[in-house]
Amino acid sequence: MGLDVSEAMLQRAVRDNADDRRVAYVRGSALDVPFADGAFDTVACLAALYLIPAPRIAVREICRVTKPGGRVALFTSLQTPLTSVLGSSTAERVSGFRWFGKDEITGWLREYGLVDVQQTISGQGQFVTARKPQ
Ligand SMILES: C[S@@+](CC[C@H](N)C(=O)[O-])C[C@H]1O[C@@H](n2cnc3c(N)ncnc32)[C@H](O)[C@@H]1O
């Protein structure tokens, strides 16, 4: 199941994955995910949290729809000395793009009860995985 708020992006995803009958797409907001608690074995959110206006709520929703024993995988931005320079750009202010502090995403995951939180840093990006306890 793929979720996105943008119809154009969903149309593109459907086109690109037309041969894959295992996947379906739903239009909706990451801030109010239209699925029941514990609906998914694994929830991945790649390259989107930094564009979402209330990313902490999105992380809470991700944790909510992950089933007990399930896993979460996130890829997003990371604040570094370089991003302090980039962060002052007009482009960032206009686009709403956000750089996350090193412990921000991992801290939210722990706060929402996830365990085995692991963070891999690569330049200005971070890949974070975690598990929801049974
Ligand atoms: C850079 S794209 C990444 C798309 C996809 N995850 C991928 O890896 O190809 C970021 C996506 O986040 C979506 N997005 C932004 N805010 C959102 C929200 N509140 N709820 C759901 N999707 C959102 C945008 O529409 C856009 O498609």
- pLDDT (tens digit per residue) in 82-105: 877 766 566 567 677 889 999 999
pLDDT of residue 86: 67
pLDDT of residue 81: 85
pLDDT of residue 5: 97
* Ligand 1 neighbour 30 (Cβ under 6 A): yes
Answer whether 92's CB lies under 8 Å from 86's CB.
Answer: yes
* Ligand 1 neighbour 57 (Cβ under 6 A): no
| Candidate from 5, 27, 60 with most ligand 1 atoms within 8 A of CB, to mutate | 5
* Ligand 1 neighbour 52 (Cβ under 6 A): yes
The stretch 32-45 carries a mean pLDDT of 98
CA of 22 to the centre of ligand 1 (A): 20
pTM for the whole structure: 0.94
Would you give the distance in Å from CA 18 to the centre of its chain? 24
- H or E stretch including 44? strand 40-46
pLDDT of residue 119: 98
